[in-house]
Amino acid sequence: MNVRDKTLAKSNAALSSNAASPQPLYIQIKEVLKKQILEGQYQPHERLPSENKLMQEFQVSRITVRQALRDLTAEGLIFSSQGKGTFVNKPKAVQDVHRLEGFGEAMTAKGYDTAARLISIKTIPGPRAVTEALKLKNKSPVVEVKRVRLLNGEPISIDTSYFPESIGQHLYDRDLTGDIFPMLEQQLGTPLGSADIRLEARIAESDIAELLAIEVGNPVMWVQRLTLNTAGHPVDFEYLSIRGDAYQYHFTVERHRDALLPSGPSSPGDDAKPLAQNQHQHSEEVNDEST
């Protein structure tokens, strides 16, 4: 028995010992396989055992195995290739969006190694969309910084950032292999306040695909971000092209409490009381007419 078969045998034993669980079998199987994937027992792009093998090891029906695999697919942990089998997906790095952070700030806190490779820095006449966002006159000079962001040594995004010349001129002699946000605050005295972020799904064109080491036409997450200082003035306008197979944003939002307040009467009793009164008055009128 090889290592993989021993692992499946242990999984089946664990499933058998949990026979009294109220969870359906397919959920138990999904959780067993999910644990193995997340613990690295299956490497990215490694083929999972066949349906027949999983049926044999877990002693369940094909329908049960397929439902477990469907759930794992829905969670983005595996993918199927027709005629080839089911494979483990490369786990996506997740950035939690609940406060304004740079890429490095967010991902270093999660244990990732982050860096940037500078492609170019230059002063150009600002494109219309850029000058409008930065509240500058059309074609005002702006400093364009283009970089490849790296996550654990692999390209993850292409960042093209535009700064008003008054800010960007100070970036020429700075180290741009890390986050620019901390540099703006700690070295240039520009405290950041908020950002307006827009996201779109796009496909990678040839220049982006080459820099990200992906195929032309692969999905990318396109992000437009305008960053303001604490006084509400634009500091940085940028476009990010992020690999769709390796990164995701996670948003946590709360519903405003005012939206939950009823727009009508405060209680069913308030609504029902006038109706009861009307019915009583109508009854009295009928009685008066009949006497």
Query: Could you give the CA distance from residue 41 to residue 87 in angstroms, rounded to a whole number?
Result: 13
Question: How does the average pLDDT of the chain come out, rounded?
Answer: 84
Mean pLDDT over residues 71-77, rounded? 83
Which residues partner with 87 through β-bridges? 47, 79
* Architecture per CATH, 3-88: Orthogonal Bundle (1.10)
**Dist. CA 115–CA 181, nearest whole Å:** 14
* pLDDT for residue 14 is more than 90: no
> 69 pLDDT band (50/70/90 cuts)?
very high
Percent of residues, the chain, with pLDDT higher than 70: 81
* pLDDT, average across residues 63-77: 90
pLDDT of residue 92: 74
Residue pLDDT, tens place only, 114-142: 899 999 999 999 999 999 999 999 999 99
Using one digit for the tens of pLDDT, what is the confidence trace for 203-224? 999 999 999 999 999 999 999 9
Q: What is the dihedral sign for C-alpha 25, 31, 32, 34?
A: positive
Q: Residue 90 carries which DSSP code? A: P
CATH 3.90.850.10 is the classification of domain 93-251: no
Domain boundaries, the chain: 3-88, 93-251
What is the total residue count of the chain?
A: 291
